[in-house]
Amino acid sequence: MHELVIRNGTLVTPLAVLSADVAVDGERIAAVESSLRGHREIDAAGLLVFPGVIDAHVHMALPVAGTRSSDDFLSGTQAAACGGVTTIVDFTVGAPDRTIPQAIEARLVEAAPSIVDYALHGEVVGWHAGRETEFRDAIDLGVASFKFYTTYGASGRRTMRHDMTAAFHELARLGAVALVHAEDDGLIQSIVERLTSEDRARMRTLAVARPDLAEQAAISQVAGLARTTGCFLHIVHVSSRIGLDAVRAARSDGASVTAETCPQYLLLTSAVYDRDDGHLFSASPPLRTERDGDALWGALRSQDIDYVATDHCPFTREQKTWRGSFAELPYGLPGVETLLPLLYTEGVAKGRLHLTDLARVLSERPAKRLGLYPRKGALEVGSDADVVLYDPNGESKVAVEDLHSRTDFSPYEGRPVVGRVVATLSRGEVVCEKGRIVATPGRGRHVYAGGDLCTSKGR
């Protein structure tokens, strides 16, 4: 007799959809088979049983453009839980005057109120060759992926090529992962310098100032560094067809490259910039075209894109008040709570993805890429009992008043949604039930990343 059994559900894994029960003892999955019994039982008849979703790219309480993203780790993980997300991966806040380990320690303090588990990426800002020991020390603290920028030179976030080369050599030696925000800063600046005041006063100019060519060029450049150094490379938020082509070309040339995209690049286009509230959709990279979105959907199905993450970085309408220029806005969109429902609706229900694809792109692949697997991302014996119960029946619409993020705006407002998250379990504990938070602040734990990155290569 097990402590808890989830009975009569339809389990969804990356390999199969099957009828089976899930038994939980303590915080781990103890058995996956038929006719299990428990002291407590959850009847999942008619429900899909997914492994807990991993949102591998979020920004809680992030300082941006003189403000701070509106979700802290408590409200952000509450929203996550209501959307079936059982693990988030946030970022340290890098700065030239502190080391990566110092930034990790500071971020762990901020993350303590979380109600679901969390891991961290180390943000590399102001780093230079000669500080390589910081990466080893960060790995000892449970952080094995490090984010670099090829853009935002004016704010000091860009890592120059010679320093990035030195960092990649060290990460290759350690078997760690380099995450890269890939947009070519020189190309962007050459465009921005030619803009007129009228250009800057139009929201649509954002898509002109940060074109898909900047993404393609930067991916090609960092992929070359990854290939020559042997570093594992992950491209965040791929937004365009030609950026995707650059990822494919890099793999063909022998680089070890994985990639993610985001719901906004699958579902939205730059046409929203022409709306009266178009400034609310400010994000970087900018939104692209329907053709780009179609290419990204196809790449998810073909596995050329490894997983979907949200880049959740919410702001309120007031924080995004139009000040006369697209360049004077905080960039970022909310999305952690709508990730699974929208991927199910627009992917599975519309025939773009199989159910098994969802378990792969939302759970297994991010867990493998970041060294969290099989503790996270799997419905397997010994894995953490992170489980989502999803009712595939019924239809509703996205409404910001029904969401739990601290923002008064959703980029998906009014969009139809098929099904709903009925319950979310984190390490065997129900943390959200029918949209109601039932977890205590601070129950989430820091999950050490790393795992067997050297052999799995995340794929």
What pLDDT is attached to residue 65?
A: 81
Supply the mean pLDDT for the chain: 96
Q: Is the pLDDT of residue 251 over 80?
A: yes
What pLDDT is attached to residue 411?
A: 98
Band (pLDDT 50/70/90 cuts) for residue 456 is very low
Per-residue pLDDT of 329-380, as tens digits, reads 999 999 999 999 999 999 999 999 999 999 999 999 999 999 999 999 999 9
Pairing of strands 232-235, 257-261: parallel
What pLDDT is attached to residue 22?
A: 98
Q: Is the peptide bond before 285 cis (omega within 30 degrees of 0)?
A: yes
Domains, the chain: 52-377 (3.20.20.140)
Q: Is the pLDDT of residue 263 over 90?
A: yes
What pLDDT is attached to residue 458?
A: 41
Per-residue pLDDT of 33-91, as tens digits, reads 999 999 999 999 999 999 999 999 999 999 988 899 999 999 999 999 999 999 999 99
Tell me the CA distances in angstroms from 35 to 2, 135, 327, 441, one per residue in order: 12, 48, 59, 35
User: At how many degrees (to 10) do helices 212-229 and 161-174 cross?
Assistant: 50
Q: What is the mean pLDDT of residues 298-304?
A: 98
Residue labelled with tokens 């428990």: 38
Q: Is the pLDDT of residue 166 over 50?
A: yes
What pLDDT is attached to residue 157?
A: 96
Band (pLDDT 50/70/90 cuts) for residue 393 is very high
Band (pLDDT 50/70/90 cuts) for residue 29 is very high
Residue labelled with tokens 């290569």: 457
Q: What is the mean pLDDT of residues 93-103?
A: 96
What pLDDT is attached to residue 459?
A: 46
What pLDDT is attached to residue 457?
A: 40
Per-residue pLDDT of 223-244, as tens digits, reads 999 999 999 999 999 999 999 9
Element containing residue 294 per DSSP (H, E) = helix 290-302
Q: Is the pLDDT of residue 217 over 60?
A: yes
Cβ-defined contacts of 14-22 (< 8 Å, 24+): 14/356, 14/357, 14/359, 14/360, 14/363, 14/364, 15/356, 16/356, 17/355, 17/356, 22/49, 22/379, 22/385, 22/387
State the pTM of this model: 0.97
Residue 58 is classified by DSSP as B
